[in-house]
Structure 1
Amino acid sequence: MKSLKKKRRVQVMALAAVSLVAATALIGFAMKDGINYFRAPSQIAANPPPPTETFRIGGLVEEGSLTRGQGKAVTFSVTDGGASVKVSYTGILPDLFEENQGMVGTGKLQDGVFIASEILAKHDETYMPREVVDALKEQGVYQDPNGS
């Protein structure tokens, strides 16, 4: 009788382990397309990602680079102080989007131009996304707005 209980316990544990592995694999597969890596313009210039990869880019909008086209089309350059990447976006820009301000865009790199599907801008005068701050600090161009 004890061997039957022991056998049943081993079967339940094996089934639980297989279920855990299957669930982990399904979660990983489902999140594969939802994970967007952040890259600074200098990283993109040094090692351009493939055109099929969706990622995020961040930095400062270069002064004098903002050009509004037909309808909602906009082009501008984003920089981290070390390199610049031209960005093309069709849509409504956030109200706080302007030159010399921090931004983060999501999209793909095609023929050296970042085609953005989403643009985010800072939400107040001191906020800048952490990834952008880190990238600007690496380039030595970040200035703390609080002076600390």
Structure 2
Amino acid sequence: MNPVRRRRLLWVIALVVAAGIATTLVAMALQRNIAYLYTPSEVLRGEAGEQARFRLGGMVAADSFKRAPGSLDATFRVTDGDAQMPVKYTGILPDLFREKQAVVATGRMQGDVFVAEEILAKHDENYMPKEVADKMGMAHRKHDVNAPAAGAAKEAK
């Protein structure tokens, strides 16, 4: 093989190796930052994994919110109609956070408790994240609960 072809071959091999390394690094970064949405019943069935970071979506259960006086530590339960999951959070909760409202919490499981790093609450009376609405709709159909259609609330205004 002459020197020009050898040099071209080495360049091609170097480019292929560099592209492979870059692809691997991007895939690892995406895998670390991805957070799937699960409902409490899916988590209790073991679909979320033990150490995985994920989003827990559902409704804040009635009479479940508790905050220690003079502390930012809050505990509450998230429900999807089938199951309830205890949640612990340290920090300032969104202004619109309250019981019987939709919530999405991002965090990890520690034993039987979900420890949230971030809490998102709905932004108005008609909004619920699409993934949570879809999963709550499945729970409503499973339990034969009549739920208003997503567009019905908007048409009533």
TM-score range, shorter chain: 0.7 to 0.9
Shift of 1:6: 5.9
Give the letter for the 2:28 counterpart.
Answer: F
The match for 2:151 is 146
Q: String of CA shifts for 1:18-63, please: whole Å, max 9, x gaps.
A: 222111001122233212221111101111621x322110101111
TM-score by length of structure 1 reads 0.85
Shift of 1:72: 1.2
SS of 1:29 mapped into structure 2: helix
Larger deviation, residues 130-139 vs 3-12: 3-12
Shift of 1:5: 6.3
SS of 1:108 mapped into structure 2: strand
The match for 2:33 is 34
The match for 1:129 is 129
The match for 1:21 is 20
SS of 1:147 mapped into structure 2: helix
Q: Report which of the two has the higher share of helix.
A: 2
* Separation in 2, partners of 1:58, 1:12: 50
* Separation in 2, partners of 1:126, 1:6: 66
What does 1:1-148 align with in structure 2 at a 5 Å threshold? 10-47=9-46, 49-50=49-50, 52-70=51-69, 71-140=71-140, 143-147=148-152
* Separation in 1, partners of 2:117, 2:64: 19
Unpaired segments ≥5 residues, structure 2? none
Residues 43/69 of structure 1: CA separation in 2 closer, same or farther (3 Å cut): same
* Separation in 2, partners of 1:79, 1:137: 13
* Separation in 2, partners of 1:125, 1:4: 72
Shift of 1:9: 5.0
Shift of 1:84: 0.7
Q: String of CA shifts for 1:95-130, please: whole Å, max 9, x gaps.
A: 011111111001111121111111010112211112
